[in-house]
Amino acid sequence: MVIKVWCKQSERNGHQMESIVRGVEHDYEQICEVIGSLRGLYPFLKVSAIGKSVLGRKIFACEFCDRKNADSAPAVLFAGAFHGTERLTTLVLLRFIEQFCAAMNTNTSVAGMDTHRALCGRRLIIVPLANPDGCEIALRGSAGAGSMAGLVKRLSGGDFSSWNANARGVDINHNFNAGWEILHQMERDAGIYGPGPRQYGGPAPESEPETLALTKLCREQHIAQALAFHSQGEEIYWYYSENTPDRGKKLARIFAASSCYALEEPVGLASHGGFKDWFIEEFGRPGFTIEIGRGKNPLSPALLNPIYEKIEEMMMIAAAI
């Protein structure tokens, strides 16, 4: 894969650069190019692959850290694009990475907060694209499904407009081990018995490589709190079971006050099996689902700027608090 650096080397210091994260559709290759460009412009940005999708696409993590205790510091995790139709969350996270990098490079601030102070004694890890195959299928149809093209075409009936699952037809945000048996029964009650475009949780918890990439990351790193970005509704979900810490509710109120998003509780098939649910259940630490924007999925990439501007401060608070 060829990684292009889109901004001139001479523009790194002292000059305003045009954003390389634009409000247009990005396929997987273009997202890789954006990440490569950011890494080329800002060598302090650590980029690694935490796993691969069913079709072998790399799942990238971008990390910022305080160099004094880079290996031992607790981390805040942001992750997006769990669902194929929610790919605008990737652009929001890439825009935040870009803004954070630029501010660190010039000793300026994001949303009025100093980025270096935000990282004092902590790390920030961002996984912009948790389900790369699902996003490619939702965007490009069976052409994005590689060796699984026949399966996804059959499962979708040729209509990929609501494809949220991975390339095996498993909804990875139903595949985490949090109330999984309850959710599995709810799926059957709803007539969902096997792979499909959305809401099938798989044959067993953590059966999918995309799910395993995130659970492995959380188990190997000290993740103090995690935010999963979805769309849409301008809502924040923070509660799951008696393991939800009191700090989760306090932080949720701060996030809601900053973003003007509503605090809600999930219902129905959204009430178990999600990443936020698993993180709270597994670690007893604050976990959140942030539903960005309003409208019908997939939200238009033209909404990137207004959506990002509304939650930028909340993201900085989450990274620093």
Tens of pLDDT, residue by residue over 129-186, are 999 999 999 999 999 999 999 999 999 999 999 999 999 999 999 999 999 899 999 9
Please give the pLDDT value at position 140: 97
- Average pLDDT of every residue of the chain: 92
Please give the pLDDT value at position 145: 98
Domain residue extents for the chain: 26-320
| pLDDT band with cut points at 50, 70 and 90 for residue 2 | very low
pLDDT > 50? residue 15: no
Domain spanning 26-320: CATH 1.10.3720.10: no
pTM: 0.94
CA–CA separation, 186 and 199 (whole Å): 10
Top-confidence residue, 136 or 14: 136
DSSP 161: T
Please give the pLDDT value at position 175: 97
| pLDDT band with cut points at 50, 70 and 90 for residue 70 | low
Q: What is the mean pLDDT of residues 18-23?
A: 91
Q: Residue 127's beta-bridge partner residues?
A: 79
Residue 197 and residue 157 in contact, taking contact as beta carbons nearer than 8 Å: no
Tens of pLDDT, residue by residue over 187-217, are 999 999 999 999 999 999 999 999 999 999 9
Kindly give, in sequence order, each residue whose CB lies less than 8 Å from that of residue 227, ignoring residues fewer than 6 positions away: 76, 77, 78, 79, 287, 288, 289, 290, 315, 318
User: 45-54, 65-74, 116-125, 245-254 — which is least confidently predicted?
Assistant: 65-74
Tens of pLDDT, residue by residue over 226-236, are 999 999 999 99
CA–CA separation, 274 and 215 (whole Å): 12
Report the 10 Å Cβ neighbour count for 44.
Answer: 12
H or E element at residue 303: none
CA atoms within 13 A on the CB side of 264: 15
User: 5-14, 109-118, 310-319 — which is least confidently predicted?
Assistant: 5-14
| pLDDT band with cut points at 50, 70 and 90 for residue 104 | very high
Kindly give, in sequence order, each residue whose CB lies less than 8 Å from that of residue 213, ignoring residues fewer than 6 positions away: 50, 51, 52, 59, 130
CA–CA separation, 93 and 80 (whole Å): 7
pLDDT > 70? residue 315: yes
pLDDT > 50? residue 3: no
